[in-house]
Amino acid sequence: MTATDAVNSTCGTLYVVATPIGNLEDISARALRVLSEVALIAAEDTRHSSRLIQHFGISTPLAACHEHNERDEGGRFIQRLLAGDSVALISDAGTPLISDPGYHLVKQARAAGVPVVPVPGPCALVAALCAAGLPSDRFIFEGFLPSKQAGRRSRLELLREEPRTLIFYEAPHRILDSLKDMETVFGGDRAAVLGRELTKTFETLKGAPLEALRAWVEADTNQQRGECVVVVAGWQAPQGEEAVDENARRILRLLLAELPVKRAAAVAAEITGARKNLLYQLALQERP
C-alpha cells in the first residue's frame, strides 16, 4: 500500500457503478443495491439518470458530476465522502470514466484516502469485443478519433502497424468518414467489425474487410444511425515475398544490373537486413 492508497476508515465509499448501454436488464443486482443504499448519486446528467433510477424505484438524490464541473466541484463530493456519506458515481450509460467523466473525482477521492470501489457491468467496448470474433487476448481501446479528417488520419497513421486488436468509439454522423479513413490507412483487406446499437432492439454486429464494411455502411443510411463501436484486426507482419519492402527491392534491382543473382541477393541482404533467400527468390524473378 502506498501513501495515496491509505484509506480513511471513518469516511464513506465512492462506488463507481456501471449502468446499462441500452438494455435495462443489464443492470446488476449489486448496482441496484448500491444505488439505493448510498447517500448521493453523482451523475453525468441528472435528468437522464433520474429516469433510470425511477425505473428501478430508487429515490436516492442525484447531483451533477460532468466534464465541466468535475474538476472544480469534485471537492463537494469529497467533503461528503470525508464526512462519512457514501456516493455512487454513474455516467449516462455504461462504465464511468470509459470515454465518460469520473477520472478527476476518482483521482481526488483516492488522494484523499477515500475508498473507491468498482461495481462493474456494461461497457460498449467489451460488449463489441466479446462478440466480434477478432483476437481478444491483446487489444487497445482508442476511444473517439479526432473529429476532423487531418487529425483522424494522423491518429490512424500512428496505429497502422499496431498488432493488437483496435477498438474505437464513433458518433453516428462520423461513422462513414471514419470507416473511409480506416480503409485508406489500414487497407481495404483489414478485417473489422461494426457493433451498432448493442444490447438494443436494432443491435447489429457486421464483420467484413474494411472496404466491404465501408461500402455496406455507405449503401444503407440506417447503418449510419445509433451508437457504434468499430473493432479492427491488428496489423500482421507481411509474410513471404511481401516481407521485402520497396527500398530493399530497389536496392536489389540496382545490384542485379551489376552482379550475378546470388551475389546481388547476398549484398542486398547485407545492406537492407531483409532475408537473403527471399531476396534471392525475388532476384530470380526480376533479373534482366
Where does this chain bind ligand SAM (CB under 6 A)? Answer: 21-22, 91, 93-95, 98-100, 123-125, 169-171, 195-200, 227-229
Q: How far is the CB of 211 from ligand SAM (least distance, A)?
A: 22
Given the complex with ligand SAM, which of 89 and 185 has the nearer CB atom?
Answer: 89
Q: How far is the CB of 103 from ligand SAM (least distance, A)?
A: 12
Q: How far is the CB of 192 from ligand SAM (least distance, A)?
A: 14
How many other C-beta atoms can be found within 10 angstroms of the C-beta atom of residue 226?
Answer: 17
Q: Are 140 and 162 in contact (CB under 8 A)?
A: yes
Please give the Cα distance from 3 to 223 (Å, whole number).
Answer: 50
Given the complex with ligand SAM, which of 149 and 199 has the nearer CB atom?
Answer: 199
Given the complex with ligand SAM, which of 19 and 86 has the nearer CB atom?
Answer: 19
Rounded alpha-carbon distances, angstroms, from residue 133 to 89, 100, 139, 209: 32, 26, 13, 13
Q: Please give the residue whose beta carbon sits closest to ligand SAM in the complex.
A: 94
Given the complex with ligand SAM, which of 83 and 171 has the nearer CB atom?
Answer: 171
Q: How far is the CB of 121 from ligand SAM (least distance, A)?
A: 9
Given the complex with ligand SAM, which of 200 and 206 has the nearer CB atom?
Answer: 200
Q: How far is the CB of 34 from ligand SAM (least distance, A)?
A: 17
Given the complex with ligand SAM, which of 175 and 248 has the nearer CB atom?
Answer: 175
Given the complex with ligand SAM, which of 80 and 196 has the nearer CB atom?
Answer: 196
Phi, psi of 20 (to 5 degrees): -60, 150
Q: How far is the CB of 93 from ligand SAM (least distance, A)?
A: 5
Q: How far is the CB of 45 from ligand SAM (least distance, A)?
A: 11
What letters, b where the CB count within 10 A reaches 16 and e where it falls short, cover 24-63? eebbbeebbebbeebebbbbbbbeebeebbeeeebeeebe
Given the complex with ligand SAM, which of 98 and 176 has the nearer CB atom?
Answer: 98
Q: How far is the CB of 4 from ligand SAM (least distance, A)?
A: 25
